[in-house]
A and B are shown apart, each in its own frame.
Chain A
Amino acid sequence: MSFITGVGLTAYGKHEGLTSLDLMSKAAELAVTDAGLKRAEIDGILCGYSTVSPHIMLATVFAEHFGIRPSYAHAVQVGGATGLAMTMLAHHLVDAGVCRHVLVVGGENRLTGQSRDASIQALAQVGHPDYEVPLGPTIPAYYGLVASRYMHEYGVTQEDLAEFAVLMRKHALAHPGAQFHEPITVADVMNSKPVALPLKLLDCCPVSDGGAAFVISRERIGETSVRVLGCAQAHTHQHVTAAPCLSELGAEIAIAKAKDAAGVAISDVRYAAIYDSFTITLAMLLEDLGLAGRGEAAARVRAGYFNKDGAMPLNTHGGLLSYGHCGVGGAMAHLVETHLQMTERAGNRQVRDASIALLHGDGGVLSSHVSMFLERVR
């Protein structure tokens, strides 16, 4: 058994002058304080990576910097799925008795620490070095390929995809820490600059600075706690050229295993935190996970189903698309927001009932998947 006992999140956007370690430290301090713990009580550290400041031993670099001498520490790299993969590992570590309190941390000055071109170029390297990268694809192009096929097979339109960007922006407007504060419309998305068609600028998440952290503990702390019910991963490929057909992607495999591990059904879920690097990512994952029928997710957005006051509130902080994406920390913000919702601390964003939540992360080009169910315990 494991509990998420503390969370920390910085604002996303520009943090001029702060390093990756600075942002990790800020988030970690918030999470440790939120858990009501002292640094010395943390006996495990898991961290992600920083494309701005790569290091072969980032977890111990961070531990030394932050002032912790853990009995277990290392970095984890699964692209956008890293945050949930670390949470899954922390869950198993405390459950197995290896650690009592694992600090999970991610943070990067990805926006101000390097040029936007450098970020795009670094990320494009998830492509095959011989058979893909020489063709000049970008991350949006990899997802643009997937989008074109998904739209072709399931009759999804560019206007459908735009709905997800509009929804995430609407949610971000209620969060002071979000990178974007101006409302957008479907027309704005449609008229935004083409990036890798069918994806346009507002179909893509931004590059951000920011940090996020959580503490995963063996025992609950406080009145209301959040318990990890069950989680699972699936990894079907690395490169989009080698991806299986759309009906055999990892999200469906991971969610099936996670449902078994957690002993719950999708109908039990009251809050959803789903990876949204691009509008197509969110549309596909919602449908792969069973939160909408095939080709029907956009209609559910239009009907208000995923609104704060809808049947399945989704990414109420604004997601990667509008809260921001600082690398590993990006999707960790989804878990922080979920925790705030489950412990009824989300303020003006608070949903009626977040008693059971589903989180899903995706790394690479729909390559690596982690599904996780959380339950509120009183």
Chain B
Amino acid sequence: MNGKRADWTSGDEAILYQACSACGSLQYFNRSFCAVCGAPDPIEKRASGEGTVYATSLVCRAATPETRAHIPYNIVLVDAVEGFRMMAHGAQDLAIGDKVAARFTQFAGRLVPYFEKLR
């Protein structure tokens, strides 16, 4: 890997994913190798933030004081146009199949991706 990763998990406004230069597989969870073929050093790529809603769940019962302050909040799985799946927050009007785009918001003291309907 080249340099420090800077995406939302480290507080930076970006969604990163990795592409294997050997087999072409994509992965969202960062690793130093491709989880499909094992080849080292997958290429870091920056996602556009656009995708399609795969699943949603509106959380109404949270387990910590920090997260409880935000309820209800919508957890979504989004299939990114680039071809990987990610978990994020989303607007409450989102339905499966909606085309969405990401912005970023604060949640329980952290930066998190937040998807809204693409206009």
Q: Given known contacts A135-B87, A145-B75, A152-B96, is B54 in contact with A121 (CB within 8 Å)?
A: no
A-contact 0/1 string along B60-93, CB 8 Å cutoff: 1111101100101101110000000111110000
Say yes or no: B63 contacts A145, CB within 8 Å: no
Decide yes or no whether B58 CB sits under 8 A from chain A.
yes
Decide yes or no whether A268 CB sits under 8 A from chain B.
no
For B73, the closest partner residue in chain A by CB is A136
The minimal Cβ–Cβ distance linking A220 to chain B, given in whole angstroms, is 45
The minimal Cβ–Cβ distance linking B40 to chain A, given in whole angstroms, is 20
Decide yes or no whether A141 CB sits under 8 A from chain B.
yes
A-B contact count (CB 8 A): 108
Across the interface, B67 reaches (CB within 8 A) one of A136, A152, A197, A239, namely A136
A-contact 0/1 string along B104-117, CB 8 Å cutoff: 00011010100000
For B111, the closest partner residue in chain A by CB is A134
Say yes or no: B58 contacts A197, CB within 8 Å: yes
Chain B neighbourhood of A195, CB < 8 A: 60-61
For A120, the closest partner residue in chain B by CB is B63
A:34-86 near B, CB below 8 Å: none
Across the interface, B88 reaches (CB within 8 A) one of A135, A138, A147, A197, namely A135
Decide yes or no whether A240 CB sits under 8 A from chain B.
yes
B-contact 0/1 string along A122-152, CB 8 Å cutoff: 0010001011101111101110111111001
Chain B neighbourhood of A132, CB < 8 A: 87
Decide yes or no whether A191 CB sits under 8 A from chain B.
no
A134, A147, A193, A199: most-surrounded residue (chain B CB, <10 A): A134
For A140, the closest partner residue in chain B by CB is B61
Q: Given known contacts A134-B112, A145-B55, is B63 in contact with A121 (CB within 8 Å)?
A: yes
CA distance A198 to B95 in the complex (A): 12
Chain A neighbourhood of B112, CB < 8 A: 134-135
Decide yes or no whether B32 CB sits under 8 A from chain A.
no
B-to-A contact residues, CB < 8 Å = 9, 28-30, 54-64, 66-67, 70, 72-73, 75-77, 85-89, 96-97, 107-108, 110, 112
A-to-B contact residues, CB < 8 Å = 117, 120-121, 124, 128, 130-132, 134-138, 140-142, 144-149, 152, 193-199, 239-242
